[in-house]
Every structure is written in C-alpha cells, then in structure tokens.
Amino acid sequence: MKAYVIEQADDHGLDAIKLAEVPIPAVGPGQVLVKVHAVSLNPVDYKLAEGGDPDWSFPHTLGLDVAGEIAAIGPDVSEDWHLGMRVAGHGDLRYDGCFAEYVASPVYELARIPDDVSYTTAAGLLCSALTAYQTINRKPNLNNVHTALIHGGSGAVGGIAVQLAKMHGLTVFTTCSTAKVDYVRKHLDVDAVIDYRKEDVTERIGELTDGLGVDLVVDTVGGAEAEKDFDRLAYNGQLVTIVGVPNIDGDAMFGRGLSMAVVNLGGAHGSGDPRQQNDLGTMATDVFEMASQGRLDPLIERILPFDELVDGLKTLAAGKVTGKLVVSLDI
C-alpha cells in the first residue's frame, strides 16, 4: 500500500516525509483494519515529523485522524464491529498511523460514522473536536459558569470549543489575529471577537465583564499566554490549557479560588486505563451525532487529494489555515 513515512530516525522535518510502498498492516488482538477514505491534518502531525517519537520503528507511517471502513477484523473483537462498517477514530502517535491506504486501529478508539455524516466530516471532527470536547464537556465544572474566553477561534480546536460553549448557553469571547476577524464573525456565534494584534486582551476582557473577569478560559496558545489568563479569570474561575502548563502562583490561586485543568487527548492511549481509552470512542460518537443533527460544524477550510497531503501540512505549519484541512483518498 502507499503511505507517507519517515524512513529513518535521523530524518526530520516535512521535507523528510516520503510517499512509499509499505506492507498492509497486520491486525492484532482488539484491532480492526481500516480502509482509509479520509484523514485530517493537525499541528501535532507536522510537529511529530519535525521531532519524532522515541517509540517509533522505521519506516514510520504518520497520521492520527482516520475515517474509513472496516476491511478486516482481528481476534478478540466483539460482534459490534463488522466488515464494511464506516468508522473513525483518533490514533496513538507511538504507532504507525493513517496517512496511508490502510491502518490497524484498536476498536476502543473508534466510533461508527452516522449514515448522513461524510468521511471527510468525520475525519475533520477528531483531534480538534475531541480536544475541544474535553475543554468544555470534560474538564471544567460548568455550574455557575456564565462567561468564557476561548483563544484562537479561527483555529480548529478553538472554533469547535466556541460551538460547544454556546450549546451550554455561555457568553463567549474569542481571540484571533487581524486577518481572521472577519472569518470568525462569519462562521461562529461569538459575543465578542478580540483582535490580539491590535487590542490588549486583558483590558478588553475587563471591559466586557465590568472588571469581573470570565468564569472559564480555554487556552490554545501556550504556557506564557496561560499565565496571563489567570489575570483574566473571575473569582472561582477555571483555566483549561491544551498546549503548555503555566507557572502557578499558589497564593494567588488560593486567594481567588482559581482552578486549572490540562488536556492531553492522545495520552489516553498510553494511560493503561481502559476507561480513558474507551472514552476516545465515546466522545467521537457524541461529536458525530452532533454533526448528524446539524449542531456542530467541523469548519473544514479545504479538502485536499492524497498527493497534496505534505503540501497541506506545510500550509498548516505556516499558520495559513483557518479551521481544518482534510485529505480525501476518494478524489
């Protein structure tokens, strides 16, 4: 089969990715073989191409988010899974991935794709939507939460997090760069867009909340920005971070009753906890149902053919994407 691979441990960067012929993977216990129809591109994909992972064997096939149909079933798989079933899931970065014609996937990470949800939509609703789902529906306690600041509304995670927060009835503010303000206003139901290149985010949040701060912040930027987010929180406020863990002033946290949570979506694979592993499939089932009901938009900017996959990663790495890039093997 054809697959995009890093050929050896000394190869690094997007230019090191090669389209190669590799064997179709064997399926082990608890796994199925998925014939790939669509994959999505995520920042973690180009970061892995640049930095690698110590658990890899080579050549290593890249790719985490897959949508396709079951082509073979391994041992110890329940009768809930059958040949031809349309499925999608977020994979384990330690093992060969889905930028290929076939991938072996453990069934715990998979969810059935509803009949009215396309392969490209399902692929687009994995890493970004599941991460966003954890930032809104898993990590924070939403009792007595009324306002939220979600960074990066023009990005895949931020855009989904905004939609989920609005489903809970929250007043939502989001940040983005000047070039993406119009996109956010067009595609998302937000109460205010803050242009972080032209406005002081902390001052603007103070103005929008009468000096109280927001009840919830979702930080998609990094540890340094998350440290600033503490100053944007209201009393009893909650910070959820997906990129970096900020330095914490324990006295200030206690004095204002603040709390913080960290999202590491893919870490569930290596946790050894079947409850957390199975939750990957549970969350995917939920977001696919939201998409089927027309309640959740994956915000797909473009659908690329398989031979443009690396170009798509380069565009993503250059920060030139709003929303999501998806690759289809059917075009």
Distances in whole angstroms, Cα of residue 78 to Cα of each of 75, 145, 222: 9, 41, 41
Among candidate residues 159, 118, 125, the one with its CA nearest the CA of residue 323: 159
End-to-end CA distance of the chain: 17
Does the structure show a pLDDT above 90 at 186?
yes
pTM over 0.75: yes
Distance CA 66, CA 100 (A): 10
Q: Give the class (CATH, top level) of 2-128+268-328.
A: alpha beta
Distance CA 314, CA 329 (A): 19
What is the pLDDT at residue 223?
A: 81
DSSP class of residue 8 equals S
Domain boundaries, the chain: 2-128+268-328, 140-262
Does the structure show a pLDDT above 90 at 310?
yes
Distances in whole angstroms, Cα of residue 169 to Cα of each of 130, 145, 239, 296, 331: 20, 10, 18, 15, 39
What is the signed CA dihedral for 120, 121, 127, 133, rounded to 10 degrees?
Answer: -170
Do residues 201 and 220 lie in contact, with contact meaning Cβ atoms separated by under 8 Å?
no
pLDDT band (50, 70, 90) for residue 122: very high
pLDDT band (50, 70, 90) for residue 224: confident
Topology of the domain comprising 140-262:
Rossmann fold (3.40.50)
Does the structure show a pLDDT above 90 at 196?
yes
pLDDT band (50, 70, 90) for residue 17: very high
Residue owning tokens 């900017």: 301
Residue owning tokens 């979702």: 218
pLDDT in tens, 41-62: 999 999 999 999 999 999 999 9
